[in-house]
């Protein structure tokens, strides 16, 4: 009976140790995995006319200019086109 109890306790200890090690491994890998975020290049739109109020309109014009995104500036209301910079 004592032998069975000892084996049961050892198996519980082994299981809890394994779970703890897996948990620590997951946490440590989470901190090491980083996605490289590309820097964004910008330029004022050449084709957008008037004050920029609607982002969708700015984005549409920037798409026509070959840039994937466009946003209105808050201060001067200009349409600025954006794309990931190439290294």
Phi first, then psi, for residue 83 (nearest 5°) are -155, 160
Q: Give the mean pLDDT of 64-82.
A: 96
Q: What is the pLDDT of residues 6-60, one digit of tens each?
A: 676 677 667 767 776 666 656 655 554 445 567 999 999 999 999 999 999 999 9
pLDDT of 33 reads 44
Please state, in angstroms and rounded to a whole number, the distance separating the CA atoms of residues 53 and 42. Answer: 18
* pTM (whole model) above 0.95: no
pLDDT of 70 reads 98
* Residue 70 C-alpha from the chain's centroid: 19
40-84 folds as Defensin A-like (3.30.30)
Query: What is the 8-class DSSP label of residue 33?
Result: -
């Amino acid at each position: 009976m004592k032998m069975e109890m000892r084996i049961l306790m050892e198996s519980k200890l082994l299981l809890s140790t394994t779970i703890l090690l897996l948990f620590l491994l997951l946490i440590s890998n989470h901190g090491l995995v980083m996605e490289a975020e590309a820097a964004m290049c910008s330029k004022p739109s050449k084709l957008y006319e008037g004050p920029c109020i609607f982002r969708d309109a700015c984005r549409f014009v920037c798409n026509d200019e070959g840039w994937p995104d466009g946003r209105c500036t808050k201060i001067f209301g200009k349409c600025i086109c954006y794309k990931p910079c190439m290294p």
